[in-house]
């Protein structure tokens, strides 16, 4: 059987998730042993229109991005959304909370009106084209990426956890951030990351997006218990989980 051809594309993103793939180090050799990478701007100069699996990093923020993404979708048998920007819009969606002209002026100053900086409502990849699999996170968890690729090649349907980060955080024997009076998004955010932020002493920022059925009502009510407010909670959700 010939190796599946993989192409990696980036849209509005920091390319940090692709960097996580590069960071797989020895495993990257294993990876290219089982797939044929035909396009990957960050790591090689070749380009190709022929691929089986398209991996998309980044969110869709400009009118012309939508067209490019649709072409990729039409060429790929399988399309994977890679990282928070592609999966849920991520940090880029913060823009949607503001007036776009104001945002452009703030970010680009006098260059704001240059044509390639035209901006539109930020969308996650699945809000533009159908997505087959999602590997969320800012950045992605390299181990999860590796597992999803292997499962895909085996013909399995890769799944990612649909339970909150707390599961993995407790497994790491962290003390709940709420015990320190901090708002942590862990109880409503999808696990799979291995809870690196709470393990390093931070709160969960919510980069993997909500679980399918988050108990948001509970989250609101629980704020009071810790002498916090719903506004505090909402503020924390803006970073990765703006609409």
Partner 1 sequence: MSVNTVSKDQFKQFVAALIASEPSVVGVQAKGDRFVFDDLKSADALRLDYDVSILSPRKYVMPQKETLLKFEVGGDCQSVQDGKPLILLGVHPYDMAAINQMDELFSQDEYDTHYMCRRRQITIIACDVVSPSKNVFASSMGTATVQHGYDMLLTDVGESIIVEVRTDKGRVLMNHMPAARPASEDDLAKRSAVWEKNQHVLNKHVLECKPSYLPKLLEKNYDHPVWEEKARLCYSCGSCNQVCPTCYCFDVQDVVNWDMKTGSRVRVWDGCLLENFATVAGDHNFRKNRSSRFRHRLYRKGKYVPGKIGGQIACVGCGRCITACTADIANPVNVYNQLMERTDIG
Partner 2 sequence: MCECCTQEKKDIYLPELATITKRRMLNGTELYMHLQLDSGLEMEYTPGQFVEVSLAGIGEAPISISSTPTQKGLELVIRNVGTLTRAIHKLDVGAKLGIRGPYGSTYPVEQAKGKDLVFVCGGIGLVPQRSFIRYVLDNRADYGKVTVLLGTKCYDMRLFREEIAMWMERKDMCVMETIDEAHDCWDGNVGVVTTLIPKIENELPNSLVMVCGPPVMYKFVLMSLAEADVPQGNIFVNLERRMKCGVGKCGHCQINQHYVCQDGPVFRYSDLADVPEAI
Residue 157 binding result from partner 2, partner 1, none, given CB thresholds of 5 to 8 Å by partner type: partner 2
Site string for partner 1, 2-31 (x = CB under 8 A): -------------------------x--xx
| Residue 96 tokens, joined | 């949607």
Beta carbons within 8 Å of 75's beta carbon, 6+ residues apart:
49, 50, 51, 54
Residue 117 binding result from partner 1, partner 2, none, given CB thresholds of 5 to 8 Å by partner type: none
| Residue 132 tokens, joined | 């087959």
Give me the least distance between CB of 131 and partner 1, in Å please: 19
Of residues 204 through 243, those in contact with partner 1 by CB under 8 A are 211-215, 217-219, 221-222, 225
Residue 16 binding result from partner 1, partner 2, none, given CB thresholds of 5 to 8 Å by partner type: none
- Answer for which of 186, 192, 198, 209 binds partner 1 (CB under 8 A) is 186
34: contact with partner 1 by CB under 8 A:
yes
Radius of gyration for the chain, computed over Cα atoms and rounded to the nearest angstrom: 19
77: contact with partner 2 by CB under 8 A:
no
Interface with partner 1: number of residues (CB under 8 A) = 38
Give me the least distance between CB of 56 and partner 1, in Å please: 23
What angle, rounded to 10 degrees, do the helices at 142-153 and 26-34 form? 20
User: Using an 8 Å Cβ cutoff, are 54 and 7 in contact?
Assistant: yes
Of residues 122 through 161, those in contact with partner 2 by CB under 8 A are 154-157
Which residues make up the interface to partner 2 (CB under 8 A)?
Answer: 154-157
Which residues make up the interface to partner 1 (CB under 8 A)?
Answer: 27, 30-31, 33-34, 146-147, 150-151, 153-154, 162-164, 166-167, 170-171, 173-176, 178-179, 186-188, 211-215, 217-219, 221-222, 225
């Amino acid at each position: 059987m010939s190796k599946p051809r993989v192409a990696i594309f980036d849209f509005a993103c920091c390319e940090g998730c692709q960097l996580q793939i590069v960071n797989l180090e020895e495993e990257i050799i294993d990876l290219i042993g089982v797939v044929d990478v035909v396009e990957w701007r960050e790591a090689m100069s070749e380009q190709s229109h022929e691929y089986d699996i398209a991996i998309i990093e980044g969110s869709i923020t400009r009118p012309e991005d939508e067209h490019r993404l649709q072409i990729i979708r039409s060429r790929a048998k399988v399309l994977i959304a890679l990282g928070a920007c592609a999966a849920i819009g991520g940090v880029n969606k913060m823009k949607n909370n503001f007036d776009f002209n104001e945002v452009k002026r703030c970010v680009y100053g006098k260059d704001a009106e240059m044509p390639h900086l035209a901006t539109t409502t930020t969308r996650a990849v699945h809000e533009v084209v159908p997505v087959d699999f999602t590997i969320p996170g800012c950045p992605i968890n390299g181990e999860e990426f590796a597992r999803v690729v292997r499962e895909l090649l085996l013909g399995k349907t890769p799944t990612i956890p649909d339970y909150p980060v707390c599961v993995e955080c407790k497994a790491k024997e962290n003390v709940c951030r709420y015990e320190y009076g901090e708002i942590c998004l862990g109880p409503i955010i999808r696990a799979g990351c291995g809870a690196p932020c709470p393990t390093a002493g931070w709160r969960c920022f919510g980069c993997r997006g909500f679980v399918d059925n988050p108990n948001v009502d509970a989250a609101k009510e629980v704020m009071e218990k810790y002498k916090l407010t719903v506004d505090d909670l909402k503020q924390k959700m803006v970073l990765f989980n703006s609409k």
